[in-house]
Every structure is written in C-alpha cells, then in structure tokens.
Amino acid sequence: MPVTKRGADKPRRIVISLGGLTSSSMLSHQLELIHAVAPELLHAIDVNAEVILTHGNGPQIHMAQRAFAVASTEDPTVPPIDLPECGAMTQGYIGYHLQQTLAAEMHKAGKHWHVATVITQIEVDADDPSFGNPTKAIGPRLTKRQADSLMEQDASFKFVKDGEGYRRVVASPRPRRIVESESILNLLDNDFVVIACGGGGIPVVRDSDDLGCYVGVPAVIEKDAAAGLLGDDCDADEFIFLTDVDGAAVNWGKEGQRFLGDITVPEIHAYMKAGEFGSGTMEPKVRAALRFLEQRPDRVVRIGNVRNAAAVVRGEAGTCIHY
Ligand code: ADP
Ligand code: MG
C-alpha cells in the first residue's frame, strides 16, 4: 500500500462533504438542519483528529443573486451582483452557521478546537466546454411561467425541464486548482477544523494581463468535484459524502432499489458505467470517489445520510467504497 505523504504517525485526515442539509435557502430551516446534524458531526470530529468540511450552496447562490436583482429594481443604491460574489457571500454565511453551531457543540463537550472558514477560490479553464453548455441546476424547481418570467428579466438565465418543473442551469467548469490551498493546509496543521471550498469554491480564471491575478467567472463548480480536489491537496485518508439518502443505490427510484453497503472500486465502477447513479446528484459523488481511490488505493470513501453522520463515519452505515 502506498504510504501517505504526511507520514504514518500523522492523525487521520478526513474530508467531509456536507450535502442534503443545505438543501433549503430559508435561513431558519438551514440553521435548524445544521443544529440537528452538529452533534453527529462533532462525533465525527472526535474520532478523527483532522477534519475538513465542505458544503453545497445551490439553493442559496440563486437566492442571493435574485435578492439583489429584485432589490436593485426598487432601490438605485442596491446593485445587481454576479455569481462569483454570490458564491463568496454564501460561503461566508453558511460557514458562519457551521462555525457557530460546531463551536457551541464543542463548548458543551468541553473541547477547545478552533473552527475557521476559508473563502475559497478555485481556478478553472477559461475555455472549459461547460461555459457553452450549462448543466448545473441551482435554485428551486419553478413553473414554466416563473422560468419564462425570469428569463425575460435576465437574458443570461437558462432553464431546463426537470420532472414537472424547470430548474435554472449554469456552467459548471471542472475545478483545476484550489487557490487558497496553503491557507487550508496551514490551518489544518494548527489543529483547526476547516470549512473550505463551500459551494464548490468560487470559480476564477487567471487574468490574461497578469498571471498572478484571478477574476471570477459566472459559474458554479460541482461541490463533489471540488471536494475531490480538496481531498488531494490535503492528502486526506478518507472522504465522506453526507447527503439526504442512506447511500448509493442501484435501481434508484425503481422496483428492486437497494442501497449498496461495502463495495469495491471495480464493482461500483461497473454500476456507474451502467448509469445507475443520477447525473448531477449521485454520479458526481461516485466519480469523485473513484478518482480519490485511484490516486491512493489505501483510502476509503463513504456515502451516507447526514442525519446519521456519526454512524457513517464509524463505518456502521452507508456505502463504503474501497479497493
Ligand atoms: P447533495 O449533493 O446535496 O448531497 P444531491 O441531490 O446532489 O445532494 O444528491 C443526492 C441525491 O441523489 C438523492 O437525494 C437522490 O435523489 C439522488 N440519486 C440519484 N441517483 C441515486 C442513486 N443511485 N442512489 C442514491 N441516490 C441517488
Ligand atoms: Mg449535489
């Protein structure tokens, strides 16, 4: 088995990708969900010395942009704002909720760890094909009338049919490099619980005039792909996807639906190729898992329910992918 770059005596490092719980843009609902999951997360942190948390922002980023757009029509002092700034804002306030809630749980448990959020930029290619083919769904499911009205108000908005409704889609370029990687690693080395790459990170490209500078681009990176990059940079030993279902299933939504427990890379790879995992939902998790395991086969990936986080981390629930 390959040896971790950080040496065998180092504490186990775990990347936890928080999904499901940020599925609502309502602040009270989001906070309620985070409160419900915090004791479970604390347990996860307790059994593992170094934890990096990341999370989604699909509902929130759309809400933030719409809030400014609507307000700007009423009040000339409020400008409309673009997706990169909305990404930064949502990373900030979701990180704030997580910091506050985790710190309160830690205080109750007599732990004195620090928690910090890193507003994270992720470099993408300016010519990534996704800019011409937006596929990442953000915001709520709308009626045709609502979607048409939004497209009328903002010509850059695109919608696709999703079941009975319509979802807004944006470009989702492949994440290439975490700009704040060094900051994240420094915090981890100094015993911080780090929240980073929220919402997949803010997508940026290099400024053509100055190679050291970045500019934001209107897109949303798939958080599961960004989490994979975070796992690489941190040389993580384990990768845990917490979501709103009990794991990866075969025959999803059909007769014979079955959640996968312990499964090897070749087995789950075959299921992925057969199209068992929903694109834009479960498939990116499995894809990131396979990439993560390919790089260092001694690693483990778990996918399980956020409401059962402690059991998932202990390996007592969810799907466990390994070589
Ligand atoms: P998040 O990324 O926030 O965790 P997603 O909605 O992107 O949440 O992914 C989880 C969803 O994936 C589940 O709610 C489920 O509807 C969907 N899904 C699609 N295919 C599968 C599958 N094969 N097994 C389990 N869930 C699946
Ligand atoms: Mg998702």
User: What are 146-179's pLDDT values in tens digits?
Assistant: 999 999 988 899 999 988 899 999 999 999 999 9
pLDDT mean over 63-82: 94
Gap between the Cα atoms of 301 and 265, Å rounded: 10
Return the number of other C-beta atoms located less than 10 Å from residue 81's C-beta: 16
Q: Which of 61, 282, 312 to mutate to test the pocket of ligand 1 (most atoms within 8 A of CB)?
A: 282
Structural contact between residues 165 and 145, judged by C-beta atoms closer than 8 angstroms: no
Is residue 215 predicted with pLDDT exceeding 70?
Answer: yes
pTM over 0.85? The answer is: yes
pLDDT of 174 reads: 97
Which residue, by CA, sits nearest to atom 19 of ligand 1? 278
Angle at 227 (CA atoms; ends 221, 228), nearest 5 degrees: 105
What is the rounded average pLDDT for all residues in the chain? 91
Rounded (10°) angle between helices 83-108 and 27-47: 60
How far apart (Å, rounded) are the C-alpha atoms in residues 323 and 302? 13
| Res 41: pLDDT | 82
pLDDT, tens digit, 9 for 90 and up, residues 85-137: 999 999 999 999 999 999 999 898 888 889 999 999 999 999 999 999 999 99
For a ligand 1 pocket test, name from 243, 255, 276 the mutation site with the most ligand atoms within 8 angstroms of its C-beta: 243
High-pLDDT (> 70) share of the chain, %: 94
How far separated are the first and last CA of the chain, in Å rounded?
Answer: 11
DSSP secondary structure letters along 198-254: GGG-EEEEE-TT-TT-EEE-S----HHHHHHHHHHHTT-SEEEEEESSSS-EESTTS
> Which ligand 1 atom lies nearest to the CA of residue 224?
2
Residues near ligand 1 with C-beta < 6 Å? Answer: 19-20, 56, 243-245, 248-249, 252, 276-278, 281-282
Question: Phi, psi at residue 212, to the nearest 5°?
Answer: -85, -5
pLDDT number for residue 28: 77
Categorize the per-residue pLDDT at 79 as very low, low, confident or very high, splitting at 50, 70 and 90. very high
Alpha helices in 48-120, H assignment, sequence order: 58-74, 83-108
Minimum CA distance residue for ligand 1 atom 1: 19
> In whole angstroms, what is the distance from residue 275 CA to residue 277 CA?
6
What are phi and psi for residue 197, nearest 5 degrees? 55, 30
pLDDT score for 46: 72
pLDDT at 83 over 60: yes
Whether residue 323 has pLDDT greater than 60 = yes
Mean pLDDT of 287-307: 93
The CA distance from 248 to 195, in Å, is 25
Beta carbons of 276 and 256 less than 8 angstroms apart: no
